[in-house]
Copies of this chain bind each other. A is one copy, B any other.
Amino acid sequence: MVDPLMLKLGEERSAIRELFEYGSARKREIGEDNVFDFSIGNPSVPAPACVREEIARLLTEMPPETLHGYSSAPGLPEVRRAVAQYIETAFGVPMSASLVYMTCGASASLVAALSAILQEGEEVIVPAPFFPEYAVFVRTAGGKLLPVPTDKSFHLDLTAIERAIGSRTRAVLVNSPNNPTGAVYGEGEMRALGELLRRKSAQFGAPIYLVADEPYRELTYGAKPVYPMAVYENTLVLYSFSKSLSLAGERIGYIAVSPRCARAEEVFAAVCGAGRAHGYVCAPTLFQRVVSACLGEVSDVEVYRANRDLLYTSLSDMGYACTVPEGAFYLFVKALEEDAKAFAERAKAHELLLVPSDSFGVRGYVRISYCVPRRTIERSLPAFRALMDDYAR
Contact = CB atoms under 8 A, between A and B. Distances in A.
For this chain, the copies found in one complex come to 2
Interface string A265-279: 011111111101111
Interface size class of chain A, counting residues whose CB lies under 8 Å from the partner chain: 35 or more
A69 B248 contact: yes
A250 B285 contact: yes
Instruction: Identify which of A43, A112, A278 gathers the most chain B CB atoms within 10 Å of its CB.
Output: A278
A317 interface: no
A10 B276 contact: yes
B46 A10 contact: no
Contact of A284 (B133, B281, B287): B287
B282 A17 contact: no
Interface in A1-51: 1-11, 13-14, 17, 20-21, 24, 40, 42-47, 51
Given A59-B52, A68-B250, A9 B277 contact: yes
A107 B107 CA distance: 17
Given A3-B115, A10-B272, A69-B246, 19 more contacts: A1-B207, A2-B117, A2-B263, A2-B266, A3-B119, A3-B273, A6-B277, A9-B276, A10-B116, A10-B276, A11-B273, A45-B65, A47-B65, A70-B249, A104-B280, A111-B278, A137-B277, A249-B285, A250-B286
B269 A3 contact: no
Contacts of A112: 279
B269 A10 contact: yes
Contact of A249 (B4, B6, B69, B268): B69
Interface of A: 1-11, 13-14, 17, 20-21, 24, 40, 42-47, 51-52, 55-56, 59, 63-65, 67-73, 104-105, 107-112, 115-119, 133, 136-137, 139-142, 206-207, 246-251, 262-263, 266-274, 276-287
Given A51-B64, A249-B286, A269-B10, A262 B1 contact: yes
A269 B42 contact: no
